[in-house]
Amino acid sequence: MDNIFTERVFADRYQILEKIGSGGMADVYRALDRELDRKVAIKVLHHRHGQDAQFVERFRREARSVAQLNHPNIVQVYDWGKEGDTNFLVMELLNGQTLKQIINDRAPMSSSEAISIGLQACAALDYAHDHKVIHRDIKPHNIVISPAGQAKVTDFGIAQAQTDDATVTQEGFLLGTAQYCSPEQAQGRPVVRGSDIYSLGIVMYEMLTGTLPFDGDNPISVAMSQVNDEPTPPSQLRGDIPTDVEAVVMRALSKSAEARFATAGEMSSALERARENLRRGLAGAATTTPGSGVEDQPTVAIPIGDALNRPSLTDFEESQEASKRGRKIGIAVAAVVSLLLAIGVAFALVGGGDDPLAETVDTPDLTGLTLDDAQDQLNAAGLSLGSIHQEPHETAADGTVFIQDPNPTDTAEVGSKVEVWVSTGQESVTVPNVVGETLDNATDALQGDSLKVGDVEQVFDDEVPAGEVMSQDPRADTSAAMDSEVDLTVSKGIEPDETVVVPSLLGLSKSAALSKLNQRGLVASEEDEFSTTIPVDTVARQTPQPGDSVRKGSAVTIFLSRGPQTVKVPDLVGLPQSSAERQLRDKGLEFQILQEENDAFEPGSVIAQDIRVDTIVSVGSTIVIILAIPITELPPGDETPDAED
């Protein structure tokens, strides 16, 4: 059964070649796109999902959305469709291994390699989030690494479709993956951008340490650990992890989404700074763990600082430059150490106790302050304001500080600068129009645009069908803060206590129909129509139909028969056949044609009709017309003999 689709052709285009993988949601096949003559991957959803109409609809909607994502670190979705009862995705065919295979083979990985993969994953998520797509199932199984080291994130569409309605499957497994899901996913709360960032933090933790921060006997216990337990710092498992790399991972693993990086781009910036420190040999680390299998890092601790803006180097150029930097740093460090020793000896001789080189203070907590207030606090502490980054934030008030570097209570040298991140308020989105949609569809549409359903008021309404959205607040096409709520008013249909069942009026006389409607508290509206089967002045049809429920006082239209429709027979004698037929059709009459030899009329013209002119007949009646044809001449010798002969 492994190659059940082998040699089949999907959508008259994609020829299945061989099965190349399998997972909980789908099987993957290598295929040939015969139109473009290229190899592709076909992801075939398991049959059980194809039987779930809601899942299939979400899958199709997400497939359309994800197909719009075009980024070098995201696996491209080319096409999607259905072959029989089989739903499938057509995707870019990748050459490489999943990150999970690489971790299993050789973790713990070096810090530089983990940072490189983390940066590429951040780039993919930042792009997807900007296009209103949240992955919801970031894990090393869904990141593919090419032989050249390029990382590509896959399975955006399936992850979105499978997590819209539930937290736990029938088998008890969390949608998403328990070891990598965020606390809010484990609790069934709305998923946000920070949920993907949390999952990426776990992936980096696993790359750096070779272990997961939370694991257990079953998915539920793991999920509870995600909610309640703090992860062991990676440096306690492997001492040579740079402090700034560990800081990035631990911030990504914050229990509160607000405490994590606000965007994947912000996490990327922190990783860039850590990588730059690593390149310069200045990344702080704990004591080296012997036999860790990765390169040891120097143990000089420094603040993270800004990343240097410079073009990327080739591996050879970078190694040469690193060698030069290493020699310069070695000389500089030796000189500094000698100087410090000399100063330390002199200071000890005069009875000094504190470090004479620099006076330090505790960094004040600037969180929640405006820039002016933050500047005042820093000035009072003997510090100054450094770089200012302005970014949207879900909870921090507009114009207030939500992150600082150094952190509050960290020591800093008097006169040094403190870098701050200032909120520009919540990121806004355009509210979609959900009026006329069912509540389920409205919920999906709002969540797809990073909004939530707020208060839902249900009211009776005579015109809007039960279950449909009647109004929304805020209105469609207005701006609202991301993750804010949209209140909905949903119709409950006609109020039951005020409804009646429409009686059958067919075949009743007008007076009888009116009486029956009056007894039910309904009003009659009259129309006339022709009928060949219903007697005159009796009900030929009605709307609403018998058995329908309507509100008392509603109008029921009765169509009273006028009997068959009649017309006058036209004068056809002398007309060419085509003209006679056209006149009969225009009056709704049928016709039958006979022919007769006659020299008095032009051949093909009407010489007689069976019903006299101006006779009243029913529409649809048949008129017989006789057409003239030339008299046939008998050849010589064949004349009819006279009676006398």
For residues 83 and 106, membership in a common domain is answered with no
Q: What is the pLDDT of residue 1?
A: 43
Which structural domain, as residue segments, surrounds residue 622?
566-629
Report, in angstroms and rounded to the nearest whole number, the Rg of the chain calculated over CA atoms. Answer: 41
pLDDT at 432 over 80: yes
pLDDT at 303 over 60: no
Q: What is the pLDDT of residue 282?
A: 63
Q: What is the CATH number of the domain that holds 36?
A: 3.30.200.20
Q: What is the CATH number of the domain that holds 175?
A: 1.10.510.10
Residue 182 is encoded by which pair of tokens?
A: 């965020």
For residues 185 and 233, membership in a common domain is answered with yes
With respect to residue 13, please indicate whether it lies within any of the assigned structural domains: yes
With respect to residue 465, please indicate whether it lies within any of the assigned structural domains: yes
For residues 118 and 180, membership in a common domain is answered with yes
pLDDT at 326 over 50: no
For residues 206 and 264, membership in a common domain is answered with yes
The answer to whether 74 and 156 are in contact (CB under 8 A) is yes
The answer to whether 31 and 21 are in contact (CB under 8 A) is no
- Point out the least confidently predicted range of 288-302, 326-340, 361-375: 288-302
Stretch 189-198: mean pLDDT, rounded?
Answer: 91
More confident residue, 46 or 125: 125
For residues 418 and 545, membership in a common domain is answered with no
Stretch 302-313: mean pLDDT, rounded?
Answer: 31
Q: What is the pLDDT of residue 54?
A: 65
For residues 602 and 545, membership in a common domain is answered with no
More confident residue, 117 or 89: 117
For residues 544 and 475, membership in a common domain is answered with no
Q: What is the pLDDT of residue 431?
A: 94
Q: What is the pLDDT of residue 571?
A: 95
With respect to residue 552, please indicate whether it lies within any of the assigned structural domains: yes
More confident residue, 644 or 101: 101
Name the domain boundary from 536, 561, 586: 561
The answer to whether 549 and 521 are in contact (CB under 8 A) is no
Q: Is 560 helix (H, G, I), strand (E, B) or coil?
A: strand
With respect to residue 70, please indicate whether it lies within any of the assigned structural domains: yes
For residues 158 and 85, membership in a common domain is answered with no
Percentage of the residues of the chain whose pLDDT score is greater than 90: 51
pLDDT at 14 over 90: yes
Its pTM stands at 0.46
Euclidean distance between CA atoms 140 and 123, whole angstroms: 16
Q: What is the pLDDT of residue 191?
A: 86
With respect to residue 47, please indicate whether it lies within any of the assigned structural domains: yes
Residue 352 — pLDDT band, cuts 50, 70, 90? very low
Euclidean distance between CA atoms 287 and 265, whole angstroms: 31
For residues 576 and 504, membership in a common domain is answered with no
Residue 235 — pLDDT band, cuts 50, 70, 90? very high
More confident residue, 626 or 47: 626
For residues 271 and 129, membership in a common domain is answered with yes
Among 88, 4, 72, CA closest to 40: 88
pLDDT at 552 over 50: yes
Q: Which residues are catalytic?
A: 137
pLDDT at 577 over 60: yes
Name the domain boundary from 92, 118, 151: 92
With respect to residue 455, please indicate whether it lies within any of the assigned structural domains: yes
For residues 102 and 250, membership in a common domain is answered with yes
The answer to whether 246 and 278 are in contact (CB under 8 A) is no
The answer to whether 569 and 611 are in contact (CB under 8 A) is yes
With respect to residue 634, please indicate whether it lies within any of the assigned structural domains: no
Name the domain boundary from 514, 536, 561: 561
Q: What is the pLDDT of residue 151?
A: 95
Residue 360 — pLDDT band, cuts 50, 70, 90? confident
Please count the structural domains in the chain: 6
For residues 473 and 515, membership in a common domain is answered with no
Q: What is the CATH number of the domain that holds 536?
A: 3.30.10.20
Residue 275 is encoded by which pair of tokens?
A: 């990588």
Euclidean distance between CA atoms 247 and 226, whole angstroms: 18
With respect to residue 53, please indicate whether it lies within any of the assigned structural domains: yes
